[in-house]
Amino acid sequence: MSTLRDDLPRQPLYGSIAALFLALLPHMTQLAPWHALLILLPLGWRGLLAWQGHDLPRRWLRYGYSLLLIGVVFLQFHTLFGREGGVALLTSLLSMKLLETQHRRDARVLSLLAFFTVGAAFLVSQAFWMLAYTIGCAIAIMAQLRAWQRLDGKLDAFEYKRSAWMVLEALPIMLLLFFLFPRLSGPLWQMPDDSGSASIGLSDDMTPGSFTNLARDDSVAFRVSFNGKLPPQRDLYWRGPVLEFYDGVGWQQLGSKQDAPGDAAPELQPLGDIVRYTMTLEPHNRNWLLALDVPLPGTLPPGSHLSSRLQLLDDKAVSSRKRISLQSVLAWRTSTPAADLVNDELQLPVGGNPRARELAASWAPLSPQARVDAALAYLHNNSFVYTLDAPLLYGRNTIDDLLFSTKAGFCEHYAGAFVFLMRAAGVPARVVTGYQGGELNQDYFIVRQTDAHAWAEVWLATRGWQRVDPTAMVAPGRVTQGVARSAAGKQKLPYLVRGDSPWLSALRLRWDGAVYGWNRWVIGYDAQRQLQLLGSLGIEDFGSPRLLMWLGGCLGLFVLFYVVMHHLQSRRQRPELSQRLWLHFVAQLARHKLTQRANEGPGSFAERAARALPAHAADIQRICYLYLQARYRNRSGAELELQRRVNAFKP
Amino acid sequence: MKRPAWLEQRWQRWLARRHPPGASSLALRHNRIYVLPSGFGFAFAAMAVLVLVGAINYQISLAYSFAFLMIGLGHAGLLHGFRNLLGLKLTAGLAEPVFAGESAHFPIRLDSEKPRQAIMLRAGDNDAVAVPRVDPPGGVEVWLPVGATERGWLTLPKLGLETHYPSQLCRVWSYANLHARCLVYPRPEPDAPSYRTQGAAEPGGEVQRTGDDDFAGLRRYQPGDPIRRIAWKQAARDERLSVKQYESPQSASFHFDWHDLPGMSDEARLSRLTAWVLAAENNDDRYGLILPGARLPLDQGPVHCAACLTALALYGKHA
């Protein structure tokens, strides 16, 4: 049979198409617009066929379109599996299945696929609104599924209402399982193309202007909660990639050496207090973890290591939000590095920037520490400007231009120039990128891309690698108050970061607090957090009697809830209150040999009773009136008065 | 899926104990409703597990929650299916007598205090009847077919109710043993010889019948009235059926006697007599019936016809 008859009732079919559209929508935002349209087309097609009462498309057309969709997915993603390709394939199949949906059975299969597609929508986003959206989708899918079971081929508001009820009833079970179902850490298998997405935030090189661009991005890089005392803001240096190679224009990481096996951190001697904190990183698709200064080697999170450049690296790229707990020291001493490392840190391109080299050479007689101080003093005393509006510099002598003519730059200019001067003066030095500072919100810091920063490290024989921030010499406010209060040209900053509108900023912080709580408790709810929660309930591990007690208790509560609901419902099935009151009233009158005859309505009975008992005539008439009002007009006020009157009625 | 005989027997005994034959009306109670996941329900559960596996693999906390929401929805679907039958009130009414070999149709009234949907109802092994909706307050009445193979009293078999509404995730079913019975007349012998030549004509009864077309009025339809006499035009205007009555003052009279049919089996005799009673009633003849132990005097009309057929149906049976 090459054509399929369309035997499905219209209303549920339209409901299905709407539900499928909702289920597909989040995934469509991830595709090119023409690809999304290609996938959504069969929805409209099927709806049109149903509207016009036509047969379904012929087999070759259906199969041809399916092949086209699959081919497009393969061309776009070069695979049919993995995260992106797999989801695109799933959505294509879902949409194609609709074109051959001819029986209720097909419609049910479609509902199952739609549920799966909605579940996959969290690959797109895990924001709060996405949960709300998927719940809406679940209601829509459930409503059309309910309609398919109906025999009258209708889909009305009733089904949506009942579906919403079903979701409400499902919520307690969802919450219980969400918190108590054992969480496994680590993926079951690795998908092939899961780490190809573009990175966000810092990169592994630095050119003039790159940090100025980052400063315009006020998206959150990570959030940090400290356990115990908060360190002062000027000490918050979140270390990212270390850049060592200078090509005359920009600075780059010596990636190959850091990735080499046996790349071990230098011996570290912590000085000062240990700072304990937990950070929640937004996905940036790189493997660096941006620890505060230097994390203690013995306390690193599983799956991460400290590189020879003291950078904390994860084994995998951070492609989803990640929570790590860390311990760092803000002051330290490192052992002597290998000779080739020091040579790397003295590398300079041949030629260029003669005046800077001359300046550095003039410090040659000084001790290394004194050379560092001299360079900082030079930056401090020669009226350099810290600005987002730095003039663009071209050519081979950009550092000369900055130091001697324009004298205006952002952190990457000063960090680069400083490291150049140090190397020219024979002090091993390197550029460190990362973030500096952060915004305190209630009990945690928000660190944004705006806070991205570049500073320098110099190697001193006695203390090893030590941090030096040349930008702090130019604009001391940068490290104490943040970029918005210290940099010139801040109209280039995002409006909310500038701090011109305090109430708006406060609102934004309040909102960020809610988002952070959501990330901490819902999205970041993992094996570790689960154990923490269970521990606070007195449960050590799964299979402990305590857990069974909790589970049993919760289930018992459910059962109790249902029993109570059932009782309330069956109570409602008893004769209505007004009717019971009326029967009581009739029983009272029976003592005076007055009984309501089978063919006698309440009105005529009351009239007869009033004539027989003239002393109570007014009462009887009133009760009859109230009864009729309560019973047939549904007046609850009448019912209350009826109750009072009947109880007081003593003929 | 066929259950082995011994299991089937035990199963039926257990069901009979749980659903004892009772009054002609009952409301389904919670401990008489059974729920099991359907094939689709299992597929749904598998889909929830698939979402869960994805959630574990990609460490997506909210996908966990969605998998659990699906499980919760499955549970809610089960409860809603259960509630679709819970409290449903069934009342069996009087079934019109039928002839053996036909189907008796038992009227079953479904009452409910809330709307219900898509319930399948069947009596014993007979065809199921779909009830799209039961709406308060009127409820709905359905006619359940039951094959009548044997003359006598046909009792309403155990009713099976089943629903997949609302979610198709589970099959919810129950049984109701309502007390109701239907009289099954013997099967009229096809092509029976004419009673005019065989039956014993009353002396003086053989008078030329006239006035077969003299319309005399309408009266209410009674079981056994010939269908061709039903006043359909009237029925379209009225709620009830009426039959046209004709003046036939002078009609023939016959006695149909069991003993006049020697050499036939009991059932064959009953069949023949049934055919004659129907034919005589149809021809507006007066007729009487003589059975061993029973004698119905000469008369005519639907009531007499029904009395004769009842006597034939119950011949040799306990009333």
Packing angle of the helix pair A617-632, A602-612 (nearest 10 deg): 170
**Domain end (from A437, A471, A498):** A498
Which residues of B, range 103-122, sit inside 8 Å of A by Cβ? 113, 115, 117-118
pLDDT of B211 reads 41
Evaluate if pTM is beyond 0.90: no
**HEC profile for A11-52?**
HHHHHHHHHHHHHHHHHHCCCCHHHHHHHHHHHHHHHHHHHH
Contact B53/A172, CB-based, under 8 Å? no
From residue A268, give the alpha-carbon distance in Å to each of A271, A334, A357, B140.
9, 5, 33, 85
Residue A556 and residue A584 in one domain: no
Decide if B31 is inside a domain.
Answer: yes
Residue A227 and residue A160 in one domain: no
Residue B108 and residue B164 in one domain: yes
pLDDT at residue A116 is higher than 80:
yes
Return per-residue pLDDT of chain B as tens, 319 residues.
Answer: 567 888 888 888 887 777 776 677 888 888 889 999 999 999 999 999 999 988 888 878 899 999 999 999 999 999 899 989 988 989 888 888 999 998 999 999 898 888 898 899 988 888 888 888 888 777 888 999 999 999 999 988 889 999 998 888 999 999 988 888 899 999 998 888 887 776 555 444 444 343 445 566 777 776 666 666 777 777 777 667 777 766 555 567 888 888 888 888 888 999 999 999 999 888 888 899 989 888 888 888 889 999 999 999 998 886 5
Distance CA A25, CA A118 (A): 9
pLDDT of B304 reads 92
Contact B61/A142, CB-based, under 8 Å? no
Whether B61 contacts chain A with CB within 8 A? yes
Contact A116/B168, CB-based, under 8 Å? no
What are the tens digits of pLDDT across the range A476-488? 888 777 777 777 7
Contact B68/A173, CB-based, under 8 Å? yes
Chain B residue closest in CA terms to A570: B87
Whether B73 contacts chain A with CB within 8 A? yes
Decide if A365 is inside a domain.
Answer: no
Decide if A389 is inside a domain.
Answer: no
Contacts B60 to A, Cβ<8 Å: 122-123, 126, 320
Q: What is the bridge-based pairing of β-strands A444-448 and A294-295?
A: unpaired
Residue A309 and residue A453 in one domain: yes
Residue A162 and residue A245 in one domain: no
Whether B54 contacts chain A with CB within 8 A? yes
Q: How confident is the model at residue A197 (pLDDT cuts 50, 70, 90)?
A: very low
Residue A169 and residue A247 in one domain: no
Residue A308 and residue A247 in one domain: yes
Length, in residues, of chain A: 651
Who has greater pLDDT, A167 or B2? A167
pLDDT of A270 reads 84
Q: What is the dihedral of CA A107, A113, A115, A117, to 10 degrees?
A: -140
Residue B27 and residue B176 in one domain: yes
Contact A181/B87, CB-based, under 8 Å? no
Residues 6 or more apart whose CB falls under 8 angstroms from that of A6 comprise A49, A50, A53, A54, A55, A56, A102
Enclosing domain of residue B111: 23-185
pLDDT of A431 reads 92
pLDDT of A170 reads 92
Decide if A397 is inside a domain.
Answer: no
Who has greater pLDDT, A57 or A257? A57
The partner residues of B206 in beta bridges, in order of sequence, read none
Mean pLDDT of A127-137: 92
Best to test chain B binding among A126, A130, A174, A525 (most B CBs inside 10 Å) = A174
Q: DSSP readout, A342-398? A: HHHTT---SS--HHHHHHHHTTTTS-HHHHHHHHHHHHHHTT-EEBS-PPP--SS-H
From residue A576, give the alpha-carbon distance in Å to each of A470, A545, A572, A630.
83, 47, 7, 10
CB atoms under 10 Å from CB of B289, counted, come to: 27
| Identity at A588, one-letter amino acid code | Q
Do the beta carbons of residue A71 and residue A63 sit within 8 Å?
no
Decide if B237 is inside a domain.
Answer: no
Q: What percent of chain A has pLDDT over 90?
A: 22
pLDDT at residue A19 is higher than 90:
yes
What's chain A's average pLDDT? 83
Per the listing, tokens 């993995």 go with A82
Residue B175 and residue B204 in one domain: no
Contact A108/B61, CB-based, under 8 Å? no
Decide if A349 is inside a domain.
Answer: no
Residue B97 and residue B150 in one domain: yes
Contacts B164 to A, Cβ<8 Å: 149
Contact B58/A320, CB-based, under 8 Å? yes
Contact B75/A150, CB-based, under 8 Å? no
Decide if B156 is inside a domain.
Answer: yes
Contacts B39 to A, Cβ<8 Å: none
Decide if B240 is inside a domain.
Answer: no
Is the reported ipTM for this assembly greater than 0.85?
no
pLDDT of A121 reads 92
**3-class DSSP assignment, residue A175:** helix
Give me the residue from A120, A146, A523 closest to B54, CB to CB.
A120
Decide if B12 is inside a domain.
Answer: no
Q: How confident is the model at residue A501 (pLDDT cuts 50, 70, 90)?
A: confident
What are the tens digits of pLDDT across the range A41-67? 999 999 998 888 888 888 899 899 999
Distance from CA of B161 to the nearest CA of A (A): 15
Residue A281 and residue A159 in one domain: no
What are the tens digits of pLDDT across the range A305-337? 888 888 888 888 887 778 888 999 888 888 766
Whether B65 contacts chain A with CB within 8 A? yes
Decide if A515 is inside a domain.
Answer: no
Residue B54 and residue B107 in one domain: yes
Residue A434 and residue A555 in one domain: no
Q: What percent of chain A has pLDDT over 70?
A: 90
Per the listing, tokens 């629903």 go with B163
Contact B73/A138, CB-based, under 8 Å? yes
Residue B203 and residue B124 in one domain: no
Enclosing domain of residue A588: 577-648
pLDDT at residue A222 is higher than 80:
yes
**Domain end (from A466, A498, A530):** A498
From A411, A413, A451, A616, the catalytic residue: A411
Per the listing, tokens 């909660």 go with A225
Instruction: Choose among A508, A486, A482: nearest CA to A495.
Output: A508
Whether B208 contacts chain A with CB within 8 A? no
Mean pLDDT of A430-437: 91
Contacts B69 to A, Cβ<8 Å: 134-135, 138, 167, 170-171, 174
Q: For residue A221, give both structure tokens.
A: 């890089």
Who has greater pLDDT, A238 or A641? A238
Contact A116/B166, CB-based, under 8 Å? no
Residue B113 and residue B203 in one domain: no
Give me the residue from A116, A118, A173 closest to B72, CB to CB.
A173
pLDDT of B40 reads 93
pLDDT at residue A566 is higher than 80:
no
Which segment of A160-164, A391-395, A412-416 scores lowest on mean pLDDT?
Answer: A391-395
Distance from CA of A248 to the nearest CA of B (A): 42
Residue A103 and residue A169 in one domain: yes
Whether B64 contacts chain A with CB within 8 A? yes
pLDDT winner (highest mean) among A189-198, A205-214, B200-209 = A205-214
Contact A135/B69, CB-based, under 8 Å? yes
Q: Is A469 among the residues known to form the active site?
A: yes
Please state the domain count of chain A: 4
> What b/e sequence results for A604-626 when a residue is b if at least 16 CB atoms lie within 10 Å of its CB, and e otherwise?
ebbbbbbeeeeebeebbebbbbb
pLDDT of A195 reads 44
pLDDT at residue A382 is higher than 80:
yes
pLDDT of B208 reads 38
pLDDT of A2 reads 39
Whether B79 contacts chain A with CB within 8 A? yes
Chain B residue closest in CA terms to A154: B132
Do the beta carbons of residue B70 and residue B48 sit within 8 Å?
yes
Distance from CA of A99 to the nearest CA of B (A): 21
pLDDT of B210 reads 38
Decide if A197 is inside a domain.
Answer: no
Q: For residue A555, give both structure tokens.
A: 């289930």
* Angle formed at CA A87 by CA A83 and CA A89, multiple of 5 degrees: 120
Residue B167 and residue B253 in one domain: no
Distance from CA of B26 to the nearest CA of A (A): 15
Contacts A152 to B, Cβ<8 Å: 132-133
Residue B30 and residue B129 in one domain: yes
Decide if B116 is inside a domain.
Answer: yes
Residue B181 and residue B261 in one domain: no
CATH number of the domain within which B82 lies: 2.60.40.3770
Which residues of B, range 146-205, sit inside 8 Å of A by Cβ? 164-168
Mean pLDDT of A156-160: 91
CB atoms under 10 Å from CB of B275, counted, come to: 21
Per the listing, tokens 């071209």 go with A394
Size of interface A-B (CB pairs under 8 A): 150
Whether B66 contacts chain A with CB within 8 A? yes
What are the tens digits of pLDDT across the range A593-602? 887 776 777 8
pLDDT of A537 reads 80
Best to test chain B binding among A81, A123, A146 (most B CBs inside 10 Å) = A146
Decide if A351 is inside a domain.
Answer: no
Contact A178/B118, CB-based, under 8 Å? no
From A27, A284, A413, A453, the catalytic residue: A453
Please state the domain count of chain B: 2
Residue B27 and residue B72 in one domain: yes
Decide if B73 is inside a domain.
Answer: yes
From A400, A469, A512, A619, the catalytic residue: A469
Decide if A381 is inside a domain.
Answer: no
Residue A46 and residue A167 in one domain: yes
Whether B82 contacts chain A with CB within 8 A? no
pLDDT of A487 reads 73
Distance CA B115, CA B88 (A): 10
Residue B167 and residue B275 in one domain: no
Residue A331 and residue A243 in one domain: yes
pLDDT winner (highest mean) among A176-185, A359-368, A502-511, A563-572 = A359-368
Contacts A84 to B, Cβ<8 Å: none
Q: What is the bridge-based pairing of β-strands A312-314 and A304-306?
A: antiparallel
Residue A582 and residue A566 in one domain: no
Distance of CA B3 to the CA centre of its chain: 27
Mean pLDDT of A426-450: 88
pLDDT of A137 reads 96
Q: Is A453 among the residues known to form the active site?
A: yes
pLDDT of A230 reads 85
Decide if B238 is inside a domain.
Answer: no
Give me the residue from A119, A123, A162 closest to B67, CB to CB.
A119
* Angle formed at CA A522 by CA A521 and CA A523, multiple of 5 degrees: 110
